[in-house]
Amino acid sequence: MVGQRWIAVICFAFNMGCGAAPAQAQQTAPMSNPVFAQPVTLRGRLGGDVVQMQLQPKKEDMDSVEGSYFVFGGKRNHGNRILLAGEVSRNKVSMEESEDGGDVSGQWDGELNGTTFRGVWQSDDGKLSLDFSLELVSDDRKPMKKIAQHNKK
């Protein structure tokens, strides 16, 4: 009897589900902003440049996103994608970027209001700041209306 209790405690502590069906994917609480709970594409301006960004939720961290963006016309990073990773707190998003996959090359701090993600990008050395304004892009405008309603203040 004592041995069975210890096995149950060990199984619970390690989330092994002993004696139960094999564990499926762990369920976590929903993301604080449902827009970022699925992959999204945004397009708009970073300073004077046109950019396109793709973001998706990180599987390991609730309220975290990862993705990339590129500048149309290859004006930055030779047209290669620039990696992004950051956190979401309701309508506020803060992300670091990396041009080489290792070193931080910039910071995005913004807010999603309706279907518009707007804020300030800053270079890693802090010498350059640019305003950005990106719009959620979708072929089906119906879900965008639901998103807009959720994110309006």
Specify the pLDDT at position 148: 53
> Residue with structure tokens 């879900």?
143
Tens digits of pLDDT across the chain (153 residues)? 444 433 333 333 334 344 444 444 444 556 788 999 999 999 999 999 999 999 999 988 889 999 999 999 877 878 899 999 999 999 999 999 999 999 999 999 999 999 999 999 999 999 999 999 999 997 554 445 445 555 555
Q: What is the rounded CA–CA span in Å between residue 139 and residue 2?
A: 60
> Residue with structure tokens 């970073």?
46
Q: Yes or no: say if 93 and 107 are a contact pair by the CB < 8 Å rule.
A: no
DSSP of 3-47:
HHHHHHHHHHHTT--TTSSPP-SPP-PPPSSGGGGS-EEEEEEET
Q: Yes or no: say if 38 and 55 are a contact pair by the CB < 8 Å rule.
A: no
